[in-house]
Copies of this chain bind each other. A is one copy, B any other.
Amino acid sequence: MQIPYYVDLLGTLVFAISGALAAFGKKLYQDIFGVSFTAFITAIGGGTLRDIILGVHPLSWIADGNYIIAIIAGVLLTVFFKQYIKRIPRTLFLLDTLGVAIYTILGVQKSLSHEVNPIAAVILGMVSAVFGGVLRDTLINEIPLIFKKEIYATACLAGAFLFVILNHYGVQADINFFAGVGLIILIRVISVKYKIALPKLED
């Protein structure tokens, strides 16, 4: 299944908002450069790392100015409507979850079409979805979300794994896509709702 182009742009916008909001939380970054830079890094980080690892050029935001326009839109929305956006944390959580889920499966699809072995494709799918957030958190000096309590990257790995398995058995691409995305959303929602974390390994 081909993800519609505007879904990809919407994902970029959502990631930009998450980066801009994070920057607003830190005094140091509360000018238009700090907020824009953090938004930019968050939005393009994962796909950029994935494409550099795959050796795919040009990167999408390099070839197509619409990605940067989506990021600028995300920054402006955050600057002007911050208080409204913050009032809808659940909406933001769902958007982030949807974005991460779609980017994971997109990343797996793209990896499989570039000489990538299936296990590496699962890892690259996860990386392309979460690395922007890792850069965002590192930049504002927070512990990356992927290492925090709730199940985050592991949900992406599970969805990516399901996609690779179904793909291997020749399941139709559309079903496969929704199965992968759905599993990620399901795990993420359940783990947040019931505060489920991965078990600690005994020391």
Contact = CB atoms under 8 A, between A and B. Distances in A.
Number of copies: 3
Given A37-B153, A53-B52, A32 B198 contact: yes
Contacts of A146: 33, 37
A194 interface: no
A34 interface: yes
Given A53-B59, A59-B53, A115-B58, A200 B65 contact: no
A69 B203 CA distance: 24
Contact of A200 (B31, B48, B63, B147): B31
Report the interface size class on chain A. Answer: 35 or more
Interface stretch (A2-10, A11-19, A117-125): A117-125
A167 interface: no
A104 B28 CA distance: 24
A61 B199 CA distance: 28
Interface of A: 24, 28-35, 37, 40, 48, 52-55, 57-59, 61-65, 68-69, 79, 114-120, 123-124, 143, 146-147, 153-154, 157, 197-201, 203
